[in-house]
Amino acid sequence: MVSENSDAQGGEPTALALKILVAGGFGVGKTTLVGAVSEIRPLRTEELLSEAGQLVDDTDGVDQKVTTTVAMDFGRITIRSGLSLYLFGTPGQDRFWFLWDELSQGALGAVVLADTRRLEDCFPAVDYFEHRHIPFVVAVNCFTGARTYGAHDVSRALDLDQGTPVVLCDARDRDSGKEVLIRLVEYAGRMHTARLLDSVG
C-alpha cells in the first residue's frame, strides 16, 4: 500500500494518488460512472458503433447504445484531502482486451460494474481480476426496469470469493459512485495489509 510522505521543505504530507480500474461488460455504464464522479472533464475515447462492429458486438439489452469506448476513459476524484483516485475505464468488448494488461499495471483495485439483465457479461472481468489477485468490488448498476437482486444473490450467481463486496449503485449519480469507490479503497486496503502480514508471518 502506498503511504503519504512529507516533503523536505515544511513537512506537509504529499498527495497520495491511487489508480483504480472501472471494468465490466459492453454498455454496463463504465463511461457514465467515470463521468459522473470525475471532478475534471473526463477523457473519453468513444467512437460511433459501425456496421462492421455489429458482427462482434452483442447489443442485446443495450439497443439504444450508439457509441463504444475503444481505448479507455479517464477521470479523477478527490476522496479526502491528500487522497485522489485516478479512474481508468476499460473498454468492454473482447477485441480491445489487449489494453487491459497495460491499464491494470499499478492499479490498487477495480470496480466491476454489473447489469443484472446481462450478468454473464461481467464474468470475464471477474475472472481477470481474480486470476491476477487484484482486489475488486462488484457494483450492480441499477437500471430502470431491471429486476432487483440482493447483493448475496449476485455474489452467488457470480461465484465470487468469500468476502468480495457487492454493492448496489446508480452509475449516473456522483454520490452513489463515490460510495462505491470508497468501499473499494477500504476493501483493497484490507487485502493489501493482509498480504503484507502473510508475507512476514
pLDDT digits (tens), the chain, 201 positions:
444 454 545 555 678 999 999 999 888 999 999 999 999 998 876 555 445 445 444 555 545 545 554 457 899 999 999 999 999 998 866 666 678 898 899 999 999 999 999 999 999 999 999 999 999 999 999 988 888 899 999 999 999 999 999 999 999 999 999 999 999 999 999 999 999 898 886
**Do 73 and 44 contact (CB within 8 A), yes or no?**
yes
Strand bridging mode 136-141 / 109-114: parallel
Q: Which DSSP helix (H) or strand (E) runs through 55?
A: none
Which DSSP letter does residue 13 get? Answer: B
Alpha helices in the chain (DSSP H): 30-37, 100-104, 123-131, 151-157, 174-200
**What is the model's pTM?**
0.81
CA dihedral 101, 105, 108, 113 (to 10 degrees): -20
**Do 72 and 91 contact (CB within 8 A), yes or no?**
yes
| Distance in angstroms (rounded) separating the CA atoms of residues 172 and 42 | 14
